[in-house]
Each structure stands twice: as C-alpha cells, then as structure tokens.
Structure 1
Amino acid sequence: MTTTTDTQIHPAAAETAEMLSGAQMIMRALRELGVEVIFGYPGGAVLPIYDEIFKQNSIRHILVRHEQAAVHAAEGYARSTGKPGVVLVTSGPGATNAVTGLTDALLDSIPVVCLTGQVARHLIGNDAFQEADTVGITRPCTKHNYLVKDPALIPDIIYEAFYVATNGRPGPVVIDLPKDVQIEKAPYKLSGQKAHRTYRPQVDGDEEKILNAIRLLAKAERPIIYSGGGVINAGPEASELLVAFARETGIPVTSTLMGLGAFPASDKQFLGMLGMHGTWEANHAMHDCDVMLAVGARFDDRVTGRTDAFSPGSKKIQIDIDLSSINKNITVDVGIVGDAASVLKRMVTLWRDLKAKDHQPSLDAWWKQIAHWRAKKCLSYTDSTDVIMPQKAIERLQALTADRNPVISTEVGQHQMWAAQFLGFDRPNCWLTSGGLGTMGYGLPAAIGAQVAFPDRLCIDVAGEASIQMNIQEMSTANQYKLPVKVFILNNEFMGMVRQWQDLTYDGRRSESYSDALPDFVKLAEAYGWKGIRVSDPKDLDAAILEMINHDGPVMVDCLVSKIENCFPMVPAGAAHNEMLLSGDVVVQPSSDEARAVV
C-alpha cells in the first residue's frame, strides 16, 4: 500500500455538475477510484446501491454468505494486491456482523472501506427495524467512520475514506449511508483539493534521527533487524530496500508473523520468525543484541514476552508510520516516524555515502553465536510412519507447491503457527493471516479474496478442523464464482492451541477443547460442489497434496494428523522472550479416559 501525502486530482472536479442519486454517486466515485470488486451481502437498507450495481458491469460484486466473511475477503484481496478492499453490507445485523472483520483489519493495518446501509434519516434514534448505531459501534474498531446526512457530500466522503484507509498506517474506514440519502438526488461535485485538510501522515523520517540510527548500527557488534507487517504495507519497494540494507550491513534479520515474506525466508541472513512460537535463534538473537532496528513493527506482547526482560541493555531504533506506535509498548532510543520505504531508502543511501561498512566492527563472532543457536534445530520433531505429523504435512505442502508461488492464508491456531514456521515465504503479499486479533474463520474468505484478485494463482487456506467451521459457509461463495480455492485441514479433532495451553498450564484439564461431533469433510465438500480428499496414511500424503493442487476447481483436504502434538518452540505465559520450551521439554500423557482421543 503506497503511502503519499497527496490525494488524487479528482477527475470530476472540473466537470459540469450532474444530478445523481446518492447510490449513483457511490458507484461513480468507486469507479473513478479504480475499484474492481466489492464483497457484500444485500439487505433492505442498501437496495438502492444494489440496484445501481445491477445496472453496470465495470465493478464486480462477490456475494458472500456472511458479512464477517465479506470483510475478511476484502482483507485477503487488499493484503495480496496492495489495493484497498471494498465491502458493502446492510444496516443493523449486516453492520454488526462486519465488526469482527473491521477489528481484524484495524489490528493488522489492512486498508478496507466498508459501506453500510442505515435506516432513513428521520428514523435514526427511533429503534427502527434493523437500526443500529453503526458509527458508535464501529468507532473503536475503525481508523475513521462517517454518517452521511447530505447526498451532496457523498463524493468527497468516499474519496476521503479511501485516502484515510490507505495513507499513513492503513486501516478500515466505515461509511454509514441512510437509505433516503442513497435515493435523494444532488449535484455530483468534488472539492478538487490536492491534499487532505488535516490528515497528512509524515512520510519522510527526520534526517538527524536517521543519522543517529546509522551511527548506532555502524558501531554495533551484535545488531539485528526486526521487521514487521509495516514493511509489507509500505509496498514492494520497502521489501526490496529491507533486503538491500541487510545486504549492505550484513545484519541478521528476523520477522513478526505479519512480516513474513518481507525478507526472503530462504536467505542465509534470515533467522526465522520471532515471538511466542518463533525460532530459538531469532528470540535469542533479539535478547542478546546490542542494537535493534525495528522496521514497521510495534513490539506487541506476542513478540516481547515479559516487557521488563525484553532485550535488556540493547539500543533500540524504531521506524513506524504511526507516531502512536513509537514508545507505546517498549521505550526506544531512536524513534523515527515515517514510511518504511522512504526511511529505508534514506538509510541505504547514507550507509553507502558515509562508507559505514569501512568502520563497522566484524560481525563474525555474532554470526558464530547465531550458528550455535541454529544448531539447536528448534523446529525438529519426531516423525512417524503410523500417523501424519502436522509438521510433516506442512513441510510436504511447502515442497510440493514451492514452484507455484502460492498465496497462503490460514485460520487461527496450531496450524497457523506450523504454517508460519515451515512455509518459507520469499516474497511479500503471499501470506494472509490474522495476527493481532487472532480471528478464527479468517482463512477461507481471505483465500477467496486473493483468488478473486488472482484467478489463475494457487490460493491455499491452511486450516484446522475447528477454525474452518467458523466461516465454512463461504465454500458456497467459491463454488458460485468458480474460484479454485484449496483448503488444507490439519485435523487433530481438538482446538489444538487451546488443548496445548490446557495441558501445559492447567494440569491437562481439557475443558471443552475436544470436538465430539465433526462433520465428514469429504461429504461436506461434495455437498458444496467441491472435491473432497481424505488422507491419514503418511505414505499417501504427497499424492493427496498433488491431487489437491492439480485439480482445476476448489478442493478440501481432510488431513488426519497426530492428535496431541504440541507446537514448539513456545514462550510460556509470563516468561521472557528467550525462555522457550522446545519439543521434548514437556511430555504430555493423556489420562485413561482421554485415550480415545489420542493416536
């Protein structure tokens, strides 16, 4: 998502004003802004807009089966393309159903513009049918929202909403549209202003602070680059500049869950993901570094662990487009407000101009220490010929799809962490996951959004048998629009991450985490018009994956895996980020009455 301080020059600014209904204005503004697709679900309060959708062919509408899924699909579209996603839902339950998706987009900085229907202006506040205070409800979970009371304001509001959603730290914006505003006519006029009146995010970092950052890094003996989702949000150039700066400096790089793909996973300088389920080498390098450069990362609790023990003694540099993220969770020594691409570009230039490499201490000892940590082989696991291990399932998925440059989405849980650990992403915008909110049910609609954007690309949702059921109705959406989405379920019959925490923290009391009544996923897939595949024998795993990726339509694979395998490494609750448990540190023994659930 490219960040700029100027809006587009409004194409209609100089035209003779034309009388249009509010609904016609909405569609015209969306066309002018280059919108290609809307994800939505109709209802009484948005029928005027849907009538205008019916009359045109330039913007495609994707009918989802639930409004939460509409927002997740828009997120998947936005995350994979770099363009804002657009959502259209009705009033009342339509808007409230979208709240989870809006909150997800806010926490993960995904640009979404959500149009919501509202009851007529004279009915607002009267508890009318399907009325809800959408502006009040969505104020805490959006970047900004609007209640449109005058149809003449629609064009400027829509343009402004897209500007706000995509500039600075991206996020969701809601436009609440009373039904009578959609019907009433007004002149279609735009203000034509080139810059927003008040919202002008700082793009270029402070020169002196950037110089201070270069000086600190040039003297560092144990430096590390901590990259986050903000690098991807800043566009492909930011990822290229991150690689360039790492090459110039020789500094090791680690990444948050949302930042995977910003730096190539196959590169020897990459230490893997950090955080609660990050690698041994990444977390220990973060802890022992003397200078840390955080780019587009917000020091969230999944990364830091106990904040008073996070990277003690290191000098910390933070680059973020969002001023409020600087010093929010961790106090830093140099806080640079600016766009990741702009600041990294300046850092690369200064590093070269100042010939900092000539004065940089040798990093040989630091890389030797990292090699020692890598020798732990923290992602190792005990394979089996009797049951499919979930790690092996993801490893084989990676091996058999690597040459296809797939877009991977996930649901939320153990499968999400295994996917992050074992699927290597060498490019940005290929990894779609719910990081900040941890939303079960995200993966399938997100994969649908990506598949809409890239009809010929391999789009796979790595799922769990519990999480996939949160928005499983979207299988119907994929079938209706002939979208060849693939769903790869790691089925262990548990809410795996919940069960893992119960075993490790609650003395094995597995309260309501076992699924006693699962559907037959193969029959369910067939009922929705998909191909269904089940695999339980390790020797059949490759064949099942190949059958999935080579089928030209949507496929659901029910991969039966070991039921009580834990996801390691793991930072326990209340521990420091370098106090990790590895496979073998904890042995979980099921009680006799739970033996039925164990392979």
Structure 2
Amino acid sequence: MQLTGSEIVIECLKEHGIDTVFGYPGGTILNIYDELYKHSHEITHILTSHEQGAAHAADGYARATGKVGVCFATSGPGATNLVTGIATAYMDSVPLVAITANVAVPLLGRDSFQEIDIAGVTMPITKHNFIVKDVEKLADTIRRAFVIAKTGRPGPVLVDITKDVTANKAEYTKKEPSIPKRSTSKILDSDIETAVELIKSARRPYIFVGGGAVISEADKELKEFVYKINAPVADTLMGKGAFDGEDLLYTGMLGMHGTKTSNLGVTECDLLITVGARFSDRVVGNPKMFARKAKVLQIDVDPAEINKNILTYSSIIGDIREVLQRLNDRLEQLEHKEWIDRIVELKNKYPLHYKPSKLCGPEIVEKIYEITEGDAIISTEVGQHQMWSAQFFRYKKPRTLITSGGLGTMGYGLGASIGAKLGMKDKLVVNIAGDGCFRMNMNEIATATRYNIPIIQVVINNHVLGMVRQWQTLFYGKRYSNTVLNDKVDFVKLAEAMGAVGIRVTTIDEFEDAFRKAIDLKTPVVIDCQIDEEDKVWPMVAPGAAISETFTAEDLEKKEEN
C-alpha cells in the first residue's frame, strides 16, 4: 500500500514494538508528529523539556529494559541538542535510534534555516548513521537502524530524514522485525580450550566483570561460572548487578574509587578473567603496574577491545553469555580455599566505611538501600554522589544501576530516570544527583510532573562541585577555582514551582521520613539533602598511580603525621 514517509516511520516503529518515544517537535519533523498524533493510542510520546532530556530518557529506557530506546528531534538546534545524549549512549554501548528531520533535499547545502549536517556531526559518536533523501529507501533504512543498534556490541544509530521524504509516498509492506542473533562466529574452540587450561592451572584467579555482562544478560551464566571456579569477583561501574553485590565472593568495584580489597586482590592474583570490561583508565590506573602478577584472559564481543588498553595473555571474542555457557560446560568444580581466605582477610581489614558527624552521602545511599531492600532502579548523575551510589548500594540484579560511565555526563540521570520508570513501571526509580548536576537539566522535573511520572529525585547538596573540588583539595593546593555553588538557588521552591513535592532535610531521620513519604505519594518528589562540602569519596587512587596505591582519609592523616 502507498504511504507517506511519515506514515512509514510510524509503521516501522510499530513493527519493532516501540510503545514509547521521547522527543521535541519542530518545523521539519512536523509531518512525523502529525502522523504520531493519529497513533497516540499505540505509541506514547513524552514531550521532554529539552532534546537532551529526550536522548537521556531514551537511553535510560533502553538500559532499564534491554530494548531499543527511541528519540525524535527536529533539524538544526533540535538535532544538535541530542548530541550529548547520543555520545553518552555510544560510550556505554546503549541501543538507541535517534530520528531527526532535515530541510528538504533542494535546500540541503544552502545554509537553509535550521539546516545542519547532523549525520556529519554525529559520525564519530554513532555506531552508524543515515540521511534518507529517497522515500523508497526509508522503511529499509529504519529497519536496518534497529538491527545495527542491537547487533553485537550495541550502540546508537541516527536516521536523518529530509522533510520532503516525510511527505512523499512509497509502497510499504509490513515486515516482521529481524531479531539480531548473538555473536558466536568468532568463538573458537581453541580459545575456549586455552581458557579452560588457564583457569584450571590458576591458584589465585580473580573475575573482573564489566558492562558487557549486563548487556549480554549473562548474570545466570556468570554466577555458575564464579561458583565453579570459586573465585572472587570485582566489577566496573557499568558492570553493577551482573553479579550479586550481596554475595560473599563479591569484593566491590575496581579502580580509582574501588575497594581496597578489589584493588589489592587484583594486584595479587595470578589470573585475571575479564568479562565484558574494556580496561578504562579509571579502572586500570597505571597500565604498566596493573595486575602485573597475572595472566589476563579477556572475554569480549568486540575484537577492538582486545589488547587496546591492556595486553592480554589470551582472549575469547563473542557474546558473553554464549562464551560463559561453553566454558561452564567444560569446567569441573574448582576450589581455591587459601586464596578465598586471603580475600576474606582483606575484606575484613578494609571494609568500606564512613564517619558521619552529620548527614552525608554514603549514609543517604545506605538508607535508600535499607528502605528499598535493594529492590529499586537507581539512576545517577556524575560525581561524588555517583561513586557513593556505586559503593554503598548493593546491586543484586542487572539493569538496576543507570549511570553515565564512559562519557561522565552531568545532567544525565534525571532524564534517564524518567525513561527507566516508563520502561519499568512497576519498579521504584530513584535518581541520585549532586547539586551541580541537578542544575544542568532540572527542567526535566517539569516533564515528570506533566505526565505524573513518580520518580524520586534525591539531591545530595554540598553547595560545591564535589568531585572537582575533591581533586582541587588533594592535587591543586586547595585552590577552589569556580567550584563553589553557594548561591541563593532553592531546590525545594523550584520543585514546587514545577509541580513536584519539595522537601529539605538535614539529618538522616529527616531523610528517612522524607523518602518513605515520597514512596507513598506516588508523584514526583525532590528531596534536597544538605551535606558538608568537605565530604569526600574514599578510597581513592591518584590519577596515573597503580591501583595498589589506593588510599583513604586515614592513610592521608598518617602520612601527614609522619
């Protein structure tokens, strides 16, 4: 049947089971929005306060559900406002399809009103992108975009459609969506056998888990693998929840703000089994000193990650879940009692702790964990609160921490929490922010109230850019250049002005009361938590240092005394 380009866009979304789209209309995309209006009973559109919020919401939806997130924007500034969100998704391998519109084909290249080469702009930060100038190619292009976004290592795909294509007609025939297959073609039996022999011969194996294990939905296979090997487990920020944070074999995060147990344990291990992690600089520290006693076995779906940051002894390329299944089939039960005893000794000697003289970030995160019993989706912004959320909330299931790891996007979490809540309506969703991050996209509270999306926004408010200030304290002689936010902004009044409930707290008892009230209200709530500007994230590894050189506040005090 003959359909307009706009009708084809909507039908292709329906083919792929898309029920929620985030976006903001404008001139060149009006044809698509007009068609979307006719299908509002099938596809819910969330009008965000800003296009960046739409991209982050689509990203949060994708991370929480495992589905492809979709966002819309018009040409020019509408399209460029998506860029930070697209880059965030790219760095963390999130399946996203961004659909933008552009000026009509005759106007391209003429500096027309709101014309921008968004395909050129986003080329380095998308898995692939398209500009559609022929309506006959539109349906197949959109279908390809969804396949590319989900195949292998996921990522964002941009489809830019000229306005005349959205109005022109072409023949459309409905097709069943192509379901991407798990990447198994590069899993070699010889690599599996080598890995099995390495694992069997290791006396001090350590398992290091990254976001690839979450993306692959390999948590069951990972648990079996861990128990068969009888090895301790550390994770990255993106790997949270792939292995149960309450398990006795779990030792916490690795790297700059990882636990002393994980950092020292990986330094002592003789085999580091890396499952879907890319060895970022924040994890590795000094690469020449990283896991120097260990042979590194890296398992990853993306061959480009092998030997990119850390040289491996051996590797297996392929879907994480499939690789772990094959390894589990060939491994017999192993025991490493002496090694586990050593790790337990480190855990007992170096637990995560804090000494609150008044309300502080770790205490807030622990209280959220206690009240929810860990059954919540936590989204975060970026900074000290993000690290406290990683350290003191024990993620028991995958897709329960929604955070910007690779790009470190301040302003990400609020939009992402909206997307996560819409994707997982039965889950409690809490966005934890610092005051600096919250300022960036706090206008999305208006989005939450417009649709009565009952997110809980916790602002850990120290009136400074906390993580930057922490570096200034430790490495820049306490020269606090442009990191003090001690102004007259009132987040409670702002929340109320946007239609949300605002509550300010200064003690842990007040926070508990406010948080329980927020759960009961089932409406957007902003809790402004006043903490001390001197609070810091511990432990820490100085940039460029070996992760074995992790230190705490107590270590600094001893050093200064000497």
TM range (shorter): over 0.9
Equivalents in 2 of 1:190, 1:210: separation in Å?
41
Contact 1:39–1:63 at 8 Å: present in 2 too? yes
Contact 1:19–1:186 at 8 Å: present in 2 too? yes
Q: Does 1:170 align with 2:170?
A: no
Q: Paired residue for 1:36, among 15, 19, 25? A: 19
The one-letter amino acid of 1:391's match is: P
Task: Give the match's secondary structure for 2:133.
Answer: coil
- Give how far 1:194 is off: 6.7
Contact 1:85–1:113 at 8 Å: present in 2 too? yes
Other-structure match for 1:55: 38
Contact 1:156–1:191 at 8 Å: present in 2 too? no
Task: Give the match's secondary structure for 2:171.
Answer: strand
Contact 2:211–2:238 at 8 Å: present in 1 too? yes
- Give how far 1:200 is off: 9.3
Other-structure match for 1:398: 369
Equivalents in 1 of 2:237, 2:155: separation in Å?
18
Q: Paired residue for 1:389, among 360, 363, 367? A: 360
The one-letter amino acid of 1:549's match is: I
Other-structure match for 2:341: 368
Other-structure match for 2:323: 343
Equivalents in 2 of 1:292, 1:193: separation in Å?
39
Structure 1 residues 327 and 103, CA, compared in 2 at 3 Å: closer, same or farther?
Answer: same
Structure 1 residues 216 and 553, CA, compared in 2 at 3 Å: closer, same or farther?
Answer: same
Higher mean displacement: 286-295 or 499-508: 286-295
Contact 2:502–2:527 at 8 Å: present in 1 too? yes
Give the TM-score normalised by structure 1.
Answer: 0.91
Equivalents in 1 of 2:261, 2:425: separation in Å?
38
Equivalents in 2 of 1:168, 1:204: separation in Å?
11
Other-structure match for 2:89: 105
Structure 1 residues 377 and 544, CA, compared in 2 at 3 Å: closer, same or farther?
Answer: farther
Structure 1 residues 49 and 158, CA, compared in 2 at 3 Å: closer, same or farther?
Answer: same
- Give how far 1:412 is off: 0.5
Other-structure match for 1:10: none
The one-letter amino acid of 2:310's match is: I
Other-structure match for 1:12: none
Q: Paired residue for 1:227, among 209, 227, 234? A: 209
Equivalents in 2 of 1:249, 1:518: separation in Å?
56
- Give how far 1:36 is off: 0.9
- Written as runs of structure 1 = structure 2, the 5 A alignment for 1:110-259 is 110-189=94-173, 201-202=183-184, 205-235=187-217, 238-259=218-239
Other-structure match for 1:496: 466
Equivalents in 2 of 1:503, 1:203: separation in Å?
50
Q: Paired residue for 2:78, among 94, 100, 104? A: 94
Contact 2:16–2:177 at 8 Å: present in 1 too? no
Task: Give the match's secondary structure for 1:584.
Answer: helix
Aligned length: 557
Task: Give per-residue Cα distances to partners, 1:236-276, cap 9 Å, x unaligned.
Answer: xx111001111112111111000000000000010111111
Over 4 Å off, 4+ runs: 189-196, 199-204
Structure 1 residues 192 and 79, CA, compared in 2 at 3 Å: closer, same or farther?
Answer: closer
Contact 1:253–1:269 at 8 Å: present in 2 too? yes
Task: Give the match's secondary structure for 1:556.
Answer: strand
Equivalents in 2 of 1:376, 1:130: separation in Å?
60
- Give how far 1:388 is off: 0.6
- Give how far 1:544 is off: 2.2
Equivalents in 1 of 2:360, 2:97: separation in Å?
41
Task: Give per-residue Cα distances to partners, 1:19-55, cap 9 Å, x unaligned.
Answer: 1111100100110111111100000010000000011
Contact 2:15–2:176 at 8 Å: present in 1 too? no
- Give how far 1:394 is off: 1.2
Task: Give the match's secondary structure for 2:349.
Answer: coil
Other-structure match for 2:28: 45
Q: Does 1:549 align with 2:519?
A: yes
Contact 2:500–2:523 at 8 Å: present in 1 too? yes
Q: Paired residue for 1:281, among 243, 261, 267? A: 261
Contact 2:15–2:177 at 8 Å: present in 1 too? no
The one-letter amino acid of 2:171's match is: P
Equivalents in 1 of 2:487, 2:272: separation in Å?
48
- Written as runs of structure 1 = structure 2, the 5 A alignment for 1:3-14 is none
Other-structure match for 1:416: 386
Equivalents in 2 of 1:374, 1:308: separation in Å?
26
Contact 1:203–1:339 at 8 Å: present in 2 too? no
- Written as runs of structure 1 = structure 2, the 5 A alignment for 1:556-571 is 556-571=526-541
Equivalents in 1 of 2:272, 2:185: separation in Å?
22
- Identity rate of aligned residues, in percent? 43
Contact 1:265–1:424 at 8 Å: present in 2 too? yes
Other-structure match for 1:379: 352
Higher mean displacement: 572-581 or 515-524: 515-524
Task: Give the match's secondary structure for 2:97.
Answer: strand
- Give how far 1:391 is off: 1.4
Structure 1 residues 32 and 192, CA, compared in 2 at 3 Å: closer, same or farther?
Answer: closer
The one-letter amino acid of 1:389's match is: C
Task: Give per-residue Cα distances to partners, 1:509-552, cap 9 Å, x unaligned.
Answer: 01110103242111111111111111113442322222222222
**5+ long unaligned stretches in structure 2:** none
The one-letter amino acid of 1:115's match is: I
Equivalents in 1 of 2:408, 2:108: separation in Å?
34
- Give how far 1:563 is off: 1.6
Structure 1 residues 194 and 371, CA, compared in 2 at 3 Å: closer, same or farther?
Answer: closer
- Give how far 1:176 is off: 0.5
Task: Give per-residue Cα distances to partners, 1:179-207, cap 9 Å, x unaligned.
Answer: 001101111147989799xx995456211
The one-letter amino acid of 2:346's match is: W
Equivalents in 2 of 1:92, 1:74: separation in Å?
20
- Give how far 1:587 is off: 5.5
- Give how far 1:350 is off: 0.9
- Give how far 1:368 is off: 2.0
- Written as runs of structure 1 = structure 2, the 5 A alignment for 1:583-594 is 583-586=553-556
**5+ long unaligned stretches in structure 1:** 1-17, 589-599
Task: Give the match's secondary structure for 1:331.
Answer: coil
Equivalents in 1 of 2:63, 2:116: separation in Å?
29
Equivalents in 2 of 1:568, 1:45: separation in Å?
50
Task: Give per-residue Cα distances to partners, 1:428-479, cap 9 Å, x unaligned.
Answer: 1111000000000011000000111123321100111110111111011101
Q: Does 1:85 align with 2:69?
A: yes
The one-letter amino acid of 1:52's match is: E
Task: Give the match's secondary structure for 1:221.
Answer: coil
Task: Give per-residue Cα distances to partners, 1:379-404, cap 9 Å, x unaligned.
Answer: 212122xx21221111111111116x
Structure 1 residues 394 and 321, CA, compared in 2 at 3 Å: closer, same or farther?
Answer: same
Q: Does 1:445 align with 2:415?
A: yes
Q: Paired residue for 1:574, among 539, 544, 554? A: 544
Q: Does 1:514 align with 2:496?
A: no
Structure 1 residues 342 and 424, CA, compared in 2 at 3 Å: closer, same or farther?
Answer: same
Contact 2:232–2:343 at 8 Å: present in 1 too? no
Structure 1 residues 190 and 333, CA, compared in 2 at 3 Å: closer, same or farther?
Answer: farther
Other-structure match for 1:528: 498
Contact 1:152–1:189 at 8 Å: present in 2 too? no
